[in-house]
Amino acid sequence: MEILNDKNIEFKTIEYLKSGLTVNQLKSIAKKLDLPPQDIMRQKDKLYKELQIEKITDDDKLFELLSKNIKLLERPIIIKDNKAVIGRPPEKINELLF
C-alpha cells in the first residue's frame, strides 16, 4: 500500500480475510497471476503443513480448500486489469504497474 500511496495510484483494498473469496474468485486470481493454486498459498504456514496440502494434486480441491482457509492465500496480491503479482518482494509491484 505504501508503494501505491507514494506514487499516488488509486486502489481498492479487498479485505478477504474478513469477507472470504469464492472458488471462482480464487481461480480468477490464480489465472491473472499465471500460477497454480499451490503457488498462491503460504506454504510455510503451519496450517498448510497440518492440512498436508503438498499431497493434494487436484486443483479444484486446492481452490476449495483455500477458499475455506483463506488465511493461506499469499498476500499482498496486486491486480491490474488481467494481470496480477504477489507483492513480495515489493519490487514486483513495479513490474506490474510501470
Specify the pLDDT at position 95.
Answer: 84
CA-closest candidate to residue 27, choices 40, 15, 17, 10: 40
- Kind plus residue range of the DSSP H or E element containing 80: strand 77-80
Torsion sign over Cα 7, 42, 69, 61? positive
98 pLDDT above the threshold of 80? no
pLDDT, tens digit (0-9, with 9 covering 90-100), for 23-82: 999 999 999 999 999 999 999 999 999 999 999 999 999 999 999 999 999 999 999 999
- What whole-number distance in Å separates Cα of residue 74 and Cα of residue 71? 8
Query: Which residue type, as a one-letter code, is found at position 23?
Result: V
C-alpha cell at 61: 480441491
Specify the pLDDT at position 40.
Answer: 97
